Structure 1
Amino acid sequence: MRRITPAQRRARLARRHLLHPEHRATRTEKVAEALVGLHATDASCVTLSSFARLRAPSLAEVDRALYEDRTLLRMHCMRRTLFVVPEPLASTFFHATPPAMASRERATLLKHLAAADPPRDARWLDEAAALALAELARRGEASAVELTDAVAELQTTITLSPGKRYAATLRIGGELLRVLAMEGRVRRGRPVGGWTSARFRYHVAPAMEPVDPAAAQAEVVRRWLRTYGPGTEADLKWWTGWGVREVRRALAQLPVLEVELTDAGRGWDLPGQGAEEEAPGPWAAFLPGLDPATMGWHHRDFYLDPAHRSLVYDSVGNGGPTVWSDGRIVGVWAQRRTGELVWRLLADVGAEATALIEKEAARLQSLLDADELVVSFPAPLTRELLA
């Protein structure tokens, strides 16, 4: 059985995640494909993850792929998380996602509607969805607010967390669009506002090409191993959000090799991957919260000192904005309200590495200008960093 060290894994990460300057991409589509999708919980994460990996990053380049050519699209898939994925792979990701995900969202909305005044049932929700889709088709594209204003049924209100101090009453238009998006019936288009906005315009989605769910899951795992491998079953379970049975079934359909990870035990790899294990040279990167590199594995010791985990990740494993050096997370960063970037290193990385980090900070600062980021999952150290 082949043994693979943390240093070899970090060398792969530098190349496969397009983080070493010599391996950066020329188009945003290449970034999304290489990373098996870009986390999109925060709208800014898509742009910042792309900036870190593009040779000539610009908002215009990212917008082209997302909104002009529409070669990339936002959709819920792994772990019920919003990702940006290559449009040709949409059906694969859709069918690889257990249908229970959308069913749970629909059931939650029905529960709220049952408590509305007067109560509404599943038949009423289906009729409201049909009216919403018809109006969206007529308009071509609309925001949740525009669609809700146009369709009276979507103005029905529900109360979230009733009886709690944080209870909220809202119209169902946005909630219904979220369910329809998870069901693959609508897609998100341009944001309402700037590139950091989390509100989008929607359009009716084309029919998804049928794909066998087991084959779709195997293809997703193959792509994950190509970019993130080697990895463990726990890594795949974490990244996909599937059960162990689904992970093992997908692995069984692939020509995988069992390997020993010196930092994590038994793992899996694709054949013929050893050519990328020589260190490519020094590099640094500033990655946003929830970046694919930060969120790619359950076992993170090969790229993060365990003593620093609680400074970078929250209690459920969401990573904040990070500073990287030669395949390791070595610091965290944040943005002040003035637009200024601030960062803190968690260890002494030496003068050469620090100089590269400063260069990357200046590169990102020039791209951000004065735009204020929206960070839903800041690093636990962020508050202290901004004090």
Structure 2
Amino acid sequence: MSGNPRYIAPPERRARLALRHRLAASTRATAPEDVADSLVALHGSDPAAVYLAVGARLADSSGTVSETARALYEDRTLLRMHGMRHTVFVFPTELTAVVHASTGLAVAARERASLLKNMAKAGAPDAVWLKEVEDAALAALARRGQATAAELAQDEPRLKEQFVYAAGKSYEGVHTVSTQLLRVLGVEGKVVRGRPLGSWTSNQFRWAVAPEHPELDVAEAQSTLLRRWLSTCGPATEADLKWWTGWRVTDVRRALATIGAEPVTLDEGTGYVAAGDLAPLAGPAEPWAALLPALDPTAMGWQQRDWYLTPELRPALFDYSGNVGPTVWWNGRVVGSWAQRAGADGEIVWRVLDREGVGREAEAAIGEAAERLRGWVGTTRVTPRFRTPVERELSA
């Protein structure tokens, strides 16, 4: 590329967000698989957030719960597994091999070593014993199809044995072998979450054997994942990319070079877009509003967020660990928050915290988005796993 990198201003970045994240009404998807493909990954730490993120982006949200459950648990076109930053996400199934190789292998090695170290400190059996238990658990899971840890312990009683985990640490506790082993097997890509024990808001999951996938070269997988993410979330800075992936900066830079990412100028400094993605985008034809859930991938997609989120709003919208709560959007900017009021009717309440550019048209559109959300959530009580100050206040 010759000359100075093209400048991409915040309004154009917000237009890309509206179109590529399927938030403008004219861009909404027809199926949960389309939503996940457009976003690369849906945050899965909060089970309800997956459904809420999908519902906000479907043209017909009435079937959000049944269609998302179908994709997750019947067709298996979406898969819940550990991914970037050692966080649980929901991915398109065809991306699981890429995610496992690009981000999971290094984390898995550390997690297994940590488990063995903690077991040794507690005087628990060694790696050979653990391998025997692991093989028996995986065999039992294959026979059952899906099972809870308690059900697996019926077939392999050694899963019920306990040991002191992280002795001497502030988070010391007594854990069963099943709790720690299944977690490690999940990071290693050997097991995945199955159907929840309760409704779509439940965070108690069965386990299932992970679908087989090819073992990919790490550098190749990192390049593939970065290309996919930049295509839907670019431009992004190196800091954004390092934060989202959880990789070392050397890995980020190598992947950027491999895919031929093109530099651009942003208000934050140098950013990057995927090769061939320099052309200006026309924004959506219509203004748009959206109510997005806690941990939504749009709100959490970048480390540097000033182009869509006024810094003064962060204390109200984020918890102490940096997890975003429910957000209200108007034309590509976070302008407030929403919650479901305590009570039997499931009322959706919202509040604008940033009045800039928010007039009657915006308030009417936000109100319509709230009614659309209430229409498919109904009276089901949805409480974010990570609660924020303004969400707590609104729901009271």
TM-score (ref. length: structure 2): 0.92
Q: Does 1:347 align with 2:351?
A: no
Q: Does 1:132 align with 2:141?
A: no
Which secondary structure does the structure 2 equivalent of 1:2 belong to? coil
Residue in 2 aligned with 1:103? 109
Distance 1:191 1:223, change over 3 A: same
Residue in 1 aligned with 2:183? 178
Residue in 2 aligned with 1:272? 277
Which secondary structure does the structure 2 equivalent of 1:290 belong to? coil
Whether contact under 8 Å (1:332, 1:379) holds in the other structure is no
Q: Does 1:13 align with 2:17?
A: yes
| Distance of 1:337 and 1:111 partners within structure 2 | 45
**After alignment, is 153-162 or 221-230 more displaced?**
153-162
Whether contact under 8 Å (1:44, 1:196) holds in the other structure is yes
Whether contact under 8 Å (2:340, 2:383) holds in the other structure is no
Give 1:102 shift. 1.3
| Distance of 2:171 and 2:41 partners within structure 1 | 33
Give 1:372 shift. 1.8
Residue in 1 aligned with 2:289? 284
% identical equivalent positions: 50
Give 1:221 shift. 0.7
| Distance of 1:382 and 1:318 partners within structure 2 | 13
Q: Does 1:294 align with 2:299?
A: yes
Residue in 2 aligned with 1:199? 204
Task: Show CA shifts across 1:215-241 (max 9, x none).
Answer: 110111111111110110001011111
Give 1:358 shift. 0.5
**After alignment, is 44-53 or 331-340 more displaced?**
331-340
Give 1:279 shift. 4.3
Give 1:163 shift. 7.0
Equivalent position amino acid for 2:199 in 1? G
Whether contact under 8 Å (2:38, 2:232) holds in the other structure is yes
| Distance of 1:165 and 1:178 partners within structure 2 | 20
Equivalent position amino acid for 1:344 in 2? R
Equivalent position amino acid for 1:102 in 2? A
Which secondary structure does the structure 1 equivalent of 2:211 belong to? coil
Whether contact under 8 Å (1:283, 1:325) holds in the other structure is yes
Equivalent position amino acid for 1:347 in 2? D
Task: Show CA shifts across 1:78-133 (max 9, x none).
Answer: 111111111111111111115221123223332442344x5222222111101101
Distance 1:380 1:100, change over 3 A: farther
Whether contact under 8 Å (2:166, 2:173) holds in the other structure is yes
Structure 2 unpaired stretches of 5+:
none
2:377 to 358, 368, 374: 368
Equivalent position amino acid for 2:36 in 1? A
Which secondary structure does the structure 2 equivalent of 1:153 belong to? helix
Q: Does 1:64 align with 2:73?
A: no
Give 1:367 shift. 1.5
Give 1:308 shift. 1.1
1:55 to 37, 52, 59: 59
Distance 1:216 1:140, change over 3 A: same
Distance 1:9 1:337, change over 3 A: same
Superposed, 1:73-222 pairs within 5 Å as 73-116=79-122, 119-160=124-165, 168-222=173-227
| Distance of 1:110 and 1:343 partners within structure 2 | 48
2:386 to 367, 377, 387: 377
Whether contact under 8 Å (1:29, 1:86) holds in the other structure is yes
Task: Show CA shifts across 1:294-337 (max 9, x none).
Answer: 11001101101111122212344321111111100011112233
| Distance of 1:106 and 1:208 partners within structure 2 | 21
Distance 1:386 1:165, change over 3 A: farther
Which secondary structure does the structure 1 equivalent of 2:291 belong to? strand
**After alignment, is 174-183 or 14-23 more displaced?**
174-183
Q: Does 1:34 align with 2:38?
A: yes
Task: Show CA shifts across 1:247-290 (max 9, x none).
Answer: 001001012211101x2111111223435243432111111111
Task: Show CA shifts across 1:61-88 (max 9, x none).
Answer: 1111111111110111111111111111
Give 1:162 shift. 5.5
Residue in 2 aligned with 1:44? 48
Whether contact under 8 Å (2:53, 2:292) holds in the other structure is yes
1:386 to 365, 385, 395: 395
| Distance of 1:112 and 1:197 partners within structure 2 | 30
Give 1:384 shift. 2.9
Residue in 2 aligned with 1:327? 332
| Distance of 2:284 and 2:212 partners within structure 1 | 44
Structure 1 unpaired stretches of 5+:
none
Equivalent position amino acid for 2:394 in 1? L
**After alignment, is 15-24 or 200-209 more displaced?**
200-209
| Distance of 2:392 and 2:206 partners within structure 1 | 33
Whether contact under 8 Å (2:29, 2:57) holds in the other structure is yes
Equivalent pairs counted in the alignment come to: 385
| Distance of 1:142 and 1:252 partners within structure 2 | 44
| Distance of 1:186 and 1:131 partners within structure 2 | 13
User: Alpha carbon RMSD of aligned pairs, Å?
Assistant: 1.8
